[in-house]
Amino acid sequence: MPEGFEIKVPITLKGGREGEKVGKQIGSKIAEQIQKAFRSIGVGKISPGGDGTISGVGGVTKGLKGVATKLGVIAALGAVAIGLLRKSSPYLKGVLDIFGRAFTIFFRPFGDFLAALLRPLAILLMKLAYLDKLETHIKKKEANNAS
């Protein structure tokens, strides 16, 4: 198992002095957003009592909602970008089709298992709906005969 790892994100901004300032602002904003996201889910956030414990579940759910929203936006943007790349490159389109088939083959057993679990429930709901409709029909017929 590796003892440590390193993540490098090369960002290059070219320009005059303003370019350096903008680059530092972007870097500080990214770091601030990451810290804010971690604080909102309770990482690095200390409880108001000052006893050193991490704050409650309410902060975690609120933070997860914000993180999920941001991840949803990033996923949507990624999908748009991949869609544009797919349209521009027939080779990439073929590779992505192969990935699609691979994922379909991989997830099929999970879908079959879920379908096997849901099938009895679906049959039960169909029977209940049919019996309810039949019961309503019989009541209407009896009401018409009584009139």
Rounded Cα gap, residues 37 and 136, in angstroms: 54
Spatial neighbors of 92 by CB under 8 A, at least 6 apart, are 85, 86
The 10s digit of each residue's pLDDT in 12-65 is 555 555 555 655 666 677 777 777 766 665 555 555 555 544 454 445 555 667
Rounded Cα gap, residues 83 and 92, in angstroms: 10
Q: How far apart are the first and last CA of the chain?
A: 83
Kindly tell me if the per-residue pLDDT of 79 is higher than 80: yes
Exposed, middle or buried by CB within 10 Å (0-12, 13-18, 19+), for 38? middle
What is the pLDDT averaged over residues 5-12? 60
CB 60 within 8 A of CB 41: yes
Kindly tell me if the per-residue pLDDT of 138 is higher than 90: no
The 10s digit of each residue's pLDDT in 85-114 is 888 888 988 998 999 999 999 999 999 999
What is the Cα 100 distance to its own chain's centre? 19
Which neighbouring-strand residues pair with 46?
Answer: 54
Helix H or strand E segment including 81: helix 57-88
pLDDT of residue 49: 54
| Residue 26 token pair | 């972007």
pLDDT of residue 67: 74
